[in-house]
Amino acid sequence: MRTPLSTTISFTDLLLSTEKDNSRRKQLEIIKFSSILMLNNVNDTLDNAQIKRGVFQKKLEKLDINHTVTEVVSVLDMQAASKNIKIKITAPKVTVFADKQRVQQVCMNLLSNAIKFTHDGTIEVCAWVNG
């Protein structure tokens, strides 16, 4: 399963390197990010097996919270728009040290549920630095 997804990501990168039209670039970015999320889901399944065996390790890295949340919102934005829902992001541009895949997974789950249970209006995604 990893190989087809990795190939999709690579070919999308190739298309992005030559695409000039902003609208098409945005669509390609969504394809790329969705493929990355799907690859992360495959990796999650493998991680669960490691957790059960007691050998799981977090993958901590520097990430920009605003950018990470914005990436997730871009994937779900069309789904929200189809229900007449706007998504507003209020998150500082700060770098944190976290497991990016887990942060994306939590954001994706929370936003998917918010869209599912909202009929119209606005969903606001907020993040802040405490302390």
Of 131 and 85, the structure prediction assigns the larger pLDDT to 85
For the chain, domain boundaries: 1-57, 58-131
Q: Which of 72, 58, 62, 59 is nearest to 95 (CA)?
A: 62
Nearest Cα residue to 72 out of 36, 22, 19: 36
117 CB-side CA count, 13 A: 5
Give the model's pLDDT for residue 131: 65
Q: How many CB atoms lie within 10 A of CB 46?
A: 12
Q: Where residue 98 falls among pLDDT bands split at 50, 70, 90?
A: very high
Question: Domain spanning 58-131: which superfamily?
Answer: Histidine kinase-like ATPase, C-terminal domain (3.30.565.10)
Counting residues of the chain whose pLDDT is more than 90, the rounded percentage is 36
Residue pair 39/30 in contact by the 8 Å Cβ criterion:
no
- The 10s digit of each residue's pLDDT in 41-94 is 888 888 889 889 999 888 899 999 999 999 889 888 878 888 999 999 998 889
Summarised one tens digit per residue, pLDDT across range 8-20 is 888 898 998 999 9
> Could you count the other beta carbons within 10 Å of the beta carbon of residue 37?
17
Q: Is the pLDDT score of 38 beyond 90?
A: no
